[in-house]
């Protein structure tokens, strides 16, 4: 834990922008290689059922968690984004749009990206994902602290969800 003075200093060194961005833009960035996965991130953990549930949540219009990205610029002036939080969600989006993922897989209600009408596909591509972008001027120590804080309260909910 930080003293109040330390907390203020840390807070004042972090620059954030935030908003909502269509899935289509996130997908374009991912396919161009604009997203980097920093060493502090875990590997890909979600199974297809978890990925499908996330995609279905978007299709249903449910609110989804924000993406947290750290903007970085390389020596050539190219812009990239370290994924602080949201790697599993980005992977699920990529899988679905690459036709590697089906909703309700193995049932008579199974569907994938190619089964969506043009209207439904357009709505999905334009669905807004909330995001926070940490500026490139923010130190790596602050970014790692943000990562720790975002994930520190992420307790497994599976046993609780089974009772609902």
Structural domains of the chain, count: 1
Q: What is the DSSP letter of 71?
A: E
Q: Is residue 89 part of a domain?
A: yes
Q: Tell me what pLDDT residue 155 has.
A: 57
pLDDT tens-digit readout, 82-104: 999 999 999 999 999 999 999 99
Closest CA to 143 of 41, 46, 42, 51: 41
pTM of the model: 0.86
Closest CA to 97 of 4, 30, 158, 149: 30
Q: Tell me what pLDDT residue 75 has.
A: 93
Most confident of 8-22, 71-85, 145-159: 71-85
81 beta partners: 35, 71
Q: Is residue 95 part of a domain?
A: yes
Q: Is residue 40 part of a domain?
A: yes
Q: Is residue 164 part of a domain?
A: no
Q: Is residue 86 part of a domain?
A: yes
Q: Is residue 3 part of a domain?
A: no
Judge whether residue 164 has pLDDT over 50.
no
Closest CA to 96 of 43, 68, 59: 59
pLDDT tens-digit readout, 9-52: 878 888 899 999 999 999 999 989 999 999 888 889 999 999 99
Q: Is residue 11 part of a domain?
A: no
Q: Tell me what pLDDT residue 72 has.
A: 94
CB 142 within 8 A of CB 13: yes
- Tell me the residue range of the domain where 31 lies: 21-150
DSSP 93-146: HHHHHTT---BTTTSTT-B-GGGS-HHHHHHHHT-EEEEEEE-TTS-HHHHHHH
Q: Is residue 6 part of a domain?
A: no
């Amino acid at each position: 834990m930080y003293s109040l003075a330390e907390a203020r200093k840390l807070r004042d060194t972090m620059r954030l922008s935030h908003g909502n961005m269509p899935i289509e833009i996130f997908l374009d960035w991912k396919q161009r290689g604009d997203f980097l996965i920093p060493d502090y991130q875990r590997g890909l953990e979600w199974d297809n059922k978890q990925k499908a549930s996330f995609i279905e949540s978007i299709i249903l219009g449910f609110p989804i968690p924000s993406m947290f990205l750290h903007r970085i610029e390389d020596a050539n002036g190219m812009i990239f984004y370290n994924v602080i939080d949201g790697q599993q969600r980005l992977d699920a989006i990529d899988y679905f749009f690459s036709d590697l993922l089906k909703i309700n897989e193995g049932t008579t209600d199974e569907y994938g990206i190619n089964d969506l009408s043009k209207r439904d596909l357009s709505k999905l591509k334009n669905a807004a994902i909330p995001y926070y972008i940490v500026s490139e001027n923010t130190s790596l120590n602050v970014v790692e602290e943000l990562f720790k804080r975002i994930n520190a309260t992420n307790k497994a909910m599976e046993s609780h969800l089974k009772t609902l």
